[in-house]
Amino acid sequence: MSDFFEEYPGYPNYEQMATHDEAHGKTTRKKLWMVFWIMLIVTLFELFIGFKYSEELGELNKEYLFIFLTVAKAFFIVFVFMHLGDEKKALKYVIIAPYTLFIFYLAFMAITEGVYSYHIKDIIATVIGHQ
Amino acid sequence: MSNQAAALPLRKDWEGGVSPFGVSYGKLFMWFFLVSDALTFSSLLCAYGFMRHKYTGQWAHPNEVFHHFPFIHKELPLAYVGFMTFDLIMSSVTMVLAVEAGHRKNQRQVLMWLFFTIIGGLIFVGSQCWEWFNFITGQGATAVYRDYIMNGHHIINPHFVGANLVVNSYTVLPTFGDFFFCITGFHGFHVFSGVIINIVMFIMVANGVMKKRGHYEMIEKAGLYWHFVDLVWVFVFTFFYLL
């Protein structure tokens, strides 16, 4: 294995790269627990909103709030727990960019078509009913 | 870093001989696999969004379907799902702590945190079984719709309580049950395979395979998969139970 790394010095050597000492580990652990508390509070807040304010808040506002909080949680999971924040810029873009582009497109299509189908359903029923 | 750059003056990131992403082959392809898997889940959730918007007003209210809690005979909407979410986030934290212990090459701590992760995963799979049981047998059905549409005919079945792929007593739409089984089932299968992977990792670490290898990168790869499972649940939780 050592011959391999001598021949290809640019190849990532995990043994040297991802090892850290006790002091560094302490700060990392602190950060991880911090993120855990943030995610727990966000989840409890979501449940509280779902419990209490399902009527008062208005359906559309509630949807936007939930989606925003969910994406925030997803950001924490991907960038802190999965360590994507510590990776190279190239890898970050390769993982995030194509996925985000495709999903915005797909979600937009699905929701638009869904709303359209909702309206066309009654029209079709009316047309068939009149025959 | 500067020494390495000086030793290789002509090699840029994309000219070969270097890893342009700075990660090993296995980890890179674990990421690519996770992206493709995320696309599968996103497609399912987008299809769910389509149906949800198509049947606006007819869809079942999650508050009225999922309000049971073990050993408590009271209506507690979303409480148990909240517990499941907490459990999965907690096991995600123990997994990342196992990865961190692996960076310090502390075998005992890696084993401990992996053990907690496996327990958390098993609790989640068990909870989901319980959730399915209640959904199928209709223990938690308050708003009971006993008529349904099949092959275009309106059928009334006064004896049916619960859910299957054709009919459910929570709403007139069979689609509700179908999506519940499909999405939570697919996710539960991922959790199950994640638990299996973690058990394999546990055995490998206990046998000293990682110690002989000199690093704990396999833990990090298994951790990526486990965090992905948590990530998917965050979305399923929002779109299926909260909205």
User: 3-class SS at B150?
Assistant: strand
Please check whether residue A62 touches B, CB under 8 A. yes
Per-residue pLDDT reduced to its tens digit, B175-227: 888 999 999 999 999 999 999 999 999 999 999 988 888 888 899 999 999 99
ipTM score assigned to the predicted complex: 0.83
B7 neighbourhood in chain A, CB within 8 Å: 9
Same domain, A69 and A127: no
- What is the identity of the amino acid at A96? I
Q: Which domain holds residue A64?
A: 1-86
pLDDT band, residue B30 (cuts 50/70/90): very high
pLDDT band, residue A68 (cuts 50/70/90): very high
Same domain, A67 and A93: no
Nearest to B224 among A63, A82, A114 (CB): A82
Would you say residue B169 has pLDDT above 90? no
Least confident of B29-38, B56-65, B120-129: B56-65
Are the beta carbons of A50 and B78 separated by less than 8 Å?
Answer: yes
Sequence-distant contacts of A45-49: CB under 8 A, at least 24 apart: A45/A69, A46/A70, A46/B238, A46/B242, A47/B78, A47/B79, A47/B82, A47/B242
Please check whether residue A42 touches B, CB under 8 A. no
pLDDT band, residue B143 (cuts 50/70/90): very low
A19 neighbourhood in chain B, CB within 8 Å: 103-105, 215
Percentage of chain A surpassing pLDDT 70?
Answer: 80
User: 3-class SS at B196?
Assistant: helix
Question: What is the per-residue DSSP string for A96-130?
Answer: HHHHHHHHHHHHHHHHHHHHHHHHHHHHHHHHHHH
Same domain, A64 and A127: no
Same domain, A64 and A116: no
Per-residue pLDDT reduced to its tens digit, A26-48: 888 898 899 999 999 998 888 88
Rounded to whole angstroms, the Cα distance separating B154 from B59 reads 17
Q: How many domains does chain A have?
A: 2
Same domain, A19 and A61: yes
Name the A residues in 68-87 with CB < 8 Å from any B CB. 69-70, 73-74, 77-78, 80-83, 87
Pinpoint the alpha helices (H) of chain A: 2-7, 14-17, 22-52, 59-76, 89-130
Same domain, A95 and A113: yes
Please check whether residue B43 touches A, CB under 8 A. yes
User: 3-class SS at B210?
Assistant: helix
Same domain, A16 and A27: yes
Please check whether residue A95 touches B, CB under 8 A. yes
The pLDDT value recorded for residue B1 is 46
pLDDT band, residue B11 (cuts 50/70/90): low
Domains of chain B: 31-242 (1.20.120.80)
Same domain, A119 and A55: no
Interface test with A, best of B238, B240, B241, B243 (most A CBs within 10 A): B238
The pLDDT value recorded for residue B113 is 95
Distances (CA, A) of B131 to A23, B111, B141, B155: 43, 30, 13, 27
Nearest to B38 among A12, A88, A99 (CB): A99
Query: Mean pLDDT across the stretch B29-39?
Result: 94
Same domain, A3 and A63: yes
User: 3-class SS at B72?
Assistant: strand
Determine the distance in angstroms separating the CA of B71 from the nearest CA of chain A, rounded to an integer: 21
Same domain, A80 and A123: no
Determine the distance in angstroms separating the CA of A96 from the nearest CA of chain B, rounded to an integer: 9
Opening angle at CA A119, ends A115 and A122, nearest 5: 145
Same domain, A65 and A111: no
